[in-house]
Amino acid sequence: MTNRKIVVALGGNAILSKDASAEAQQQALRETAKYLVEFIKQGDQLIISHGNGPQVGNLLLQQAAGSTDKNPAMPLDTAVAMTQGSIGYWMQNALSEVLAENKLDVDVATVVTQVEVSEDDQAFTNPTKPIGPFYTKDEIDLIKAQNPDQTFVEDAGRGYRRVVPSPKPIGVKESRVVNKLVDAGIVPISVGGGGVPVVKRGNRYVGKEAVIDKDFASEKLAELVGADLLIILTAVDNIYVNFNKPNQKQLNEVTVDELNTYIKEGQFAKGSMLPKVQAAIDFVDNRPDSKAVVTSLENVGRFLSDGSGTIISKTAVTSK
């Protein structure tokens, strides 16, 4: 099947591993683009999303180090927008290069995306998402005196880290823009880093000191643009139950009900696989005729050729 509208959510390993330099991240994205171009070669309409956790953390550090009264650090929502722009620039540059190498006349554009959240989301009264570096107790006392609105928690004996709210997305302001780009044959890069978290107040969208999970934002975008497929790329080719145990089981074709049962059993780690599984479930629940896929970037070719990966459907899959 070709001409499918597909949202592909890239994991952080597709951009940054150990070397945080611009050159290293650009090179990583050139390698990533070689996998993504396979969708376009077979006629699919591609929409790309990506994480920004390491990048926004590094940017906050750089800003804090250089902040002065006359040149203060920017707020978190603006830092998210800044990394959306920088990663989008690198990604559209890399993908354009690979498209040209494959003699494909396709344009790529980055959309700095605002993702709407509810002002009443309980996450705002219970910040849990760690960002930035570790601090000592003495450093925390000084930082809190200068930033009384910020929240810090002790993290597994490694020091203290700032935590921020991570609200669930309820809308994507630029979803219609993304669809117009797709209709024009352009590959959009959207909801980077989960999008800029905003709340709507009258006719105005106001940025919030928060970060949105990239997989949930990608799901909401896929839902709003009417995607046929949501592909969440991670470090493994498949979802597993009893992961790293003698009775480990690879999931190939699985239903929403089966995944919900596994969640109740505590099969998926909260900080890694669980949000990906929950985002996949949300998408299929909201678009029952569509499917979600969880696999690795390196497995994209096998997925396209024979359906390799974990495919999530509303009801049992009869064939790949």
Active-site residues, by number, are 12-13, 129, 214, 276
How many residues belong to the chain? 320
Sign of CA dihedral 224, 229, 234, 238: positive
Tell me how far apart the alpha carbons of residues 160 and 168 are, in angstroms, rounded to a whole number: 25
- Torsion-angle region of residue 150: left (phi > 0), alpha (psi -120 to 50) or beta? beta
Bridge partner list, 56: none
Sequence-separated (6 or more) residues with CB below 8 Å from residue 110 = 84, 85, 88, 89, 91, 92, 188, 189, 190, 192
Q: Give the H or E element holding residue 284.
A: helix 273-286
Sequence-separated (6 or more) residues with CB below 8 Å from residue 30 = 94, 97, 98
CA-to-CA dists, residue 205 to 198, 288, 289, angstroms: 6, 31, 33
Strand 114-117 and strand 169-172: the pairing is antiparallel
* Dihedrals phi, psi of 115, to nearest 5 degrees: -110, 120
Query: 158, 280, 297: which is closest to 236 by C-alpha?
Result: 297
* Dihedrals phi, psi of 70, to nearest 5 degrees: -85, -20
Tokens describing residue 220: 């909401």
Helix (H, G, I), strand (E, B) or coil at 311: strand
Q: Do 231 and 293 contact (CB within 8 A), yes or no? A: yes
